[in-house]
Amino acid sequence: MKTTVIGLGLIGGSIALDLRKAGIATELVGVDLNGANAAKAVTLGLVDSIESEGTAITTSDLIILAIPVNALAQLLPSVLDSIKKKAVVIDTGSTKRMICRAIANHPNRGQFVASHPIAGTENSGPEAAFEGLFRGKTNIICEKEKSSKEALELAERIFTVLGMSTIFMEPEEHDKHVAYVSHLSHVSSFLLGQTVLDIERDEKNIFALAGSGFASTVRLAKSSPDMWAPIFEQNSEYLSQALLEYIMHLQKFQYFLMKRDGKELQRIMKDANRIREILNGIEYKQTKLVQEK
Amino acid sequence: MKTTVIGLGLIGGSIALDLRKAGIATELVGVDLNGANAAKAVTLGLVDSIESEGTAITTSDLIILAIPVNALAQLLPSVLDSIKKKAVVIDTGSTKRMICRAIANHPNRGQFVASHPIAGTENSGPEAAFEGLFRGKTNIICEKEKSSKEALELAERIFTVLGMSTIFMEPEEHDKHVAYVSHLSHVSSFLLGQTVLDIERDEKNIFALAGSGFASTVRLAKSSPDMWAPIFEQNSEYLSQALLEYIMHLQKFQYFLMKRDGKELQRIMKDANRIREILNGIEYKQTKLVQEK
């Protein structure tokens, strides 16, 4: 089927690669506001050709939206206005409330499947795309009852082809959960980076002492501000709540640190150690999914 | 030479493996307060045999101390009291002020080299040890002028054998810098883990949404509380300072988040993005060191 990917970055580009390989996208068209990125996507073989947004939207059977969430909330209504009768539109946004709200009463709501395939790296742009990015990861579909049976079936088939397991959730629940397990860790990483860069102005060569632990904790601080600022804005209440809880925990820790209360510090760290089982669980699940493929 | 490693965990065990391989430790003795760990270290081949602390200390030519920093500050003076005339003692502690202070006026101060080989993983215990842990990493030696020429030469030879580049620093400077680039990232990770575990009590299945970004940011929360609590206590002033700056940056971010000031959020993230070059620099340096070996 004729497939259009709007937004040819890490996510859109990687989906394009997998959909072509699986034979789902027999004609693969790209759309990108950034002309240089669009050209690169063709050179890299992510898509066959570039079309104007208008042409691509009105002639495709499947449209994947992989653009920043602010652009997504703006563009989605007009996409649904002009698509073909049986076309299916799938988004990949990291927030779901604003997006679902934007098309809640649209007559073609049934042709849209609100999705969030949870995968990524700290890199962005068409060069960052690669085959298999989504393998073993989790996909969320929201408001599945508002999508038509046909649209939902195609979306589920696509995410299965990408190697993902899909779970269903309401937009509120989705946005709250990702605030904690995804958005908060990005914020903590960005600000850790900033704190250390800040002190470096006075303390030269501080990074000579940075090891792999620091690198791992601060990795997400490399992420794209253009992509993350709109996500944070759209999820500001839940993220704010998560951030305040994080700050509260840090302040409590700082209090025990000033008191040199080693016992209490140790108790907090032992509690946090439980994350080990959870991380092992995530790894186990991903390995299992990859092996099953 | 007869080498004793006191503390047979990740650090001590990994040093033992490399020193035997390089032919420096012709007789390799282990000491560990934990009998089970001591036995495991022999079974795993980290050391040849276990001796009592007293025997090992009075008969060895080289003593490596790889125990938690509180135990280190306590044990070090008595080690220097009873070593052989030309024996050399090297520590591996992550703080340096308290340790250097503990033996500042010891008559055998010259036989000691205050070191911090910056390497590690989130795992601990003898099973976590492996050959090559230190390759490409940085080692810090403090107060080098207080070590004898012979002791310093042996220490430098050992760290070169481990594949490390050594830089020299005063204990104050060391403790301040590691507060930012190592201790703070551990705290940020421990508390991120705690925040998310906390919310999980109310929000079941929240971890279904956790991806590789979360895993990377929270990895250090798996670290050993027994090892880290004494480090944090000994470095509490500098770490407190770093932590307060981190909290201040987080609070500022939260303020712009509540205001939905996307521009300011983006500016902060762009600033933090500079960490990319620095991380690339660390990687480049490590790769170069490994290749040179």
The reported pLDDT for the residue numbered B291 is 63
Same domain, yes or no: B154 and B179: no
**CA torsion sign, B143 to B154 to B135 to B24?**
negative
Question: Tell me: the pLDDT tens digits for B153-194?
Answer: 999 999 999 999 999 999 999 999 999 999 999 999 999 999
Same domain, yes or no: A152 and A222: no
With a pLDDT cut of 90, the percent of chain A lying above it is: 86
CATH number for the domain spanning B91: value is: 3.40.50.720
- Residue A267 domain-assigned (yes or no): no
Q: Which of B120, B154, B169 is the last residue of a domain?
A: B169
Q: Which of A169, A193, A221 is the last residue of a domain?
A: A169
The reported pLDDT for the residue numbered B180 is 93
Q: Scanning every residue of chain A, which has its alpha carbon at the shortest distance from the alpha carbon of B281? A: A207
Q: Three-state SS string across chain B, please?
A: CEEEEECCCHHHHHHHHHHHHCCCCCEEEEECCCHHHHHHHHHCCCCCEECCHHHHHHHCCEEEECCCHHHHHHHHHHHHHHCCCCCEEEECCCCCHHHHHHCCCCCCHHHEEEEEECCCCCCCCHHHCCCCCCCCCEEEEECHHHCCHHHHHHHHHHHHHCCCEEEEECHHHHHHHHHHHHHHHHHHHHHHHHHHHHHHCCCCCHHHHCCHHHHHHHHHHHCCHHHHHHHHHHCHHHHHHHHHHHHHHHHHHHHHHHCCCHHHHHHHHHHHCCHHHHHHHHHHHHHHHHHHC
The answer to whether residue A293 scores a pLDDT higher than 60 is no
Q: Which of B95, B226, B257 to mutate to test the interface with A (most CBs of A within 10 A)?
A: B257
pTM higher than 0.80, yes or no?
Answer: yes
From A119-123, A202-206, B66-70, the region with the lowest mean pLDDT: A202-206
The answer to whether residue A196 scores a pLDDT higher than 90 is yes
Instruction: Kindly give, in sequence order, each residue whose CB lies less than 8 Å from that of residue A269, ignoring residues fewer than 6 positions away.
Output: B190, B221, B223, B225, B228, B229
The mean pLDDT of chain A is 94
The reported pLDDT for the residue numbered B280 is 81
Q: For A87, what's the count of Cα atoms within 13 Å in the CB-facing half-sphere?
A: 22
- Residue B80 domain-assigned (yes or no): yes
Phi, psi at residue B170, to the nearest 5°? -80, 150
The answer to whether residue A205 scores a pLDDT higher than 90 is no
Same domain, yes or no: B163 and B65: yes
The reported pLDDT for the residue numbered B205 is 74
Question: Tell me: the pLDDT tens digits for A32-51?
Answer: 999 999 999 999 999 999 99
The answer to whether residue A145 scores a pLDDT higher than 70 is yes
Using a CB-CB cut-off of 8 Å, the residues of chain A touching B195 are: 180, 184, 242, 245-246, 249
For B:251-270, CB contacts with A below 8 A are 251, 253-254, 257-258, 260, 262-263, 265-266, 268-270
Using a CB-CB cut-off of 8 Å, the residues of chain B touching A271 are: 194, 197
Same domain, yes or no: A6 and A134: yes
Same domain, yes or no: B182 and B158: no
Residue A239 banded pLDDT, cuts 50, 70, 90: very high
The reported pLDDT for the residue numbered B203 is 74
The reported pLDDT for the residue numbered A212 is 83
Same domain, yes or no: A159 and A50: yes
The reported pLDDT for the residue numbered B211 is 82
- Residue B105 domain-assigned (yes or no): yes
- Residue A263 domain-assigned (yes or no): no
Region A131-139 average pLDDT: 95
Same domain, yes or no: B187 and B200: yes
Give the gap in angstroms from C-alpha B83 to the nearest C-alpha of chain A.
Answer: 31
Q: Which of A95, A181, A286, A289 to mutate to test the interface with B (most CBs of B within 10 A)?
A: A181
Give the gap in angstroms from C-alpha B69 to the nearest C-alpha of chain A.
Answer: 13
The answer to whether residue A280 scores a pLDDT higher than 90 is no
Q: Which of B121, B148, B169 is the last residue of a domain?
A: B169
- With CB atoms and an 8 Å threshold, state whether B214 touches A246: no
Determine the Cα–Cα distance for residues A265 and A232; give it in Å rounded to an integer: 31
Same domain, yes or no: A192 and A143: no
- With CB atoms and an 8 Å threshold, state whether A185 touches B220: no
Question: Tell me: the pLDDT tens digits for B194-223?
Answer: 999 998 877 777 788 888 889 899 999 999
The reported pLDDT for the residue numbered B122 is 85
Question: Tell me: the pLDDT tens digits for A247-275?
Answer: 999 999 999 999 999 999 999 999 999 99
The answer to whether the beta carbons of residues B168 and B152 sit under 8 Å apart is no
Question: Tell me: the pLDDT tens digits for B15-60?
Answer: 999 999 999 999 999 999 999 999 999 999 999 999 999 999 999 9
Region A229-251 average pLDDT: 96
Number of domains in chain B: 2
Quote the tokens at residue B47: 């050391």
Region A125-135 average pLDDT: 96
The reported pLDDT for the residue numbered B241 is 95
Instruction: Kindly give, in sequence order, each residue whose CB lies less than 8 Å from that of residue B20, ignoring residues fewer than 6 positions away.
Output: B28
Region A221-246 average pLDDT: 95
- Residue B244 domain-assigned (yes or no): yes
ipTM of the complex: 0.89
The reported pLDDT for the residue numbered B171 is 97
- Residue A108 domain-assigned (yes or no): yes
- Residue B146 domain-assigned (yes or no): yes
The reported pLDDT for the residue numbered B292 is 57
- With CB atoms and an 8 Å threshold, state whether A221 touches B272: yes
- With CB atoms and an 8 Å threshold, state whether A240 touches B219: no
Residue A289 banded pLDDT, cuts 50, 70, 90: low
The answer to whether the beta carbons of residues B122 and B222 sit under 8 Å apart is yes
Q: Three-state SS string across A251-282, please?
A: HHHHHHHHCCCHHHHHHHHHHHCCHHHHHHHH
User: Shortest CA distance to A64 belongs to which of A14, A106, A124, A4?
Assistant: A4
From A6-10, A56-60, B127-131, B212-216, the region with the lowest mean pLDDT: B212-216
Q: How far apart are the first and last CA of chain B?
A: 23
The reported pLDDT for the residue numbered A286 is 65
Residue A213 banded pLDDT, cuts 50, 70, 90: confident
The beta-carbon neighbor of A221 closest among B186, B243, B275 is: B275
Same domain, yes or no: B110 and B211: no
Q: Which residues of B65-81 are buried (b: 16+ CB within 10 A; e: fewer)?
A: bbbbbbbbbebbeebbe
Residue B90: domain span = 2-169
Phi, psi at residue A145, to the nearest 5°? -70, -15
Q: Are strands A27-31 and A49-50 parallel, antiparallel or unpaired?
A: parallel
Same domain, yes or no: B69 and B193: no
The reported pLDDT for the residue numbered B140 is 97
Total count of residues recorded for chain B: 293
From A137-151, B123-137, B193-207, the region with the lowest mean pLDDT: B193-207
Total count of residues recorded for chain A: 293
Q: Scanning every residue of chain B, which has its alpha carbon at the shortest distance from the alpha carbon of A272? A: B194
Same domain, yes or no: B62 and B91: yes
Same domain, yes or no: B180 and B56: no
The reported pLDDT for the residue numbered A278 is 82
CATH number for the domain spanning B208: value is: 1.10.3660.10
The reported pLDDT for the residue numbered A38 is 97
- Residue B52 domain-assigned (yes or no): yes
The mean pLDDT of chain B is 94
Quote the tokens at residue A280: 């092992």
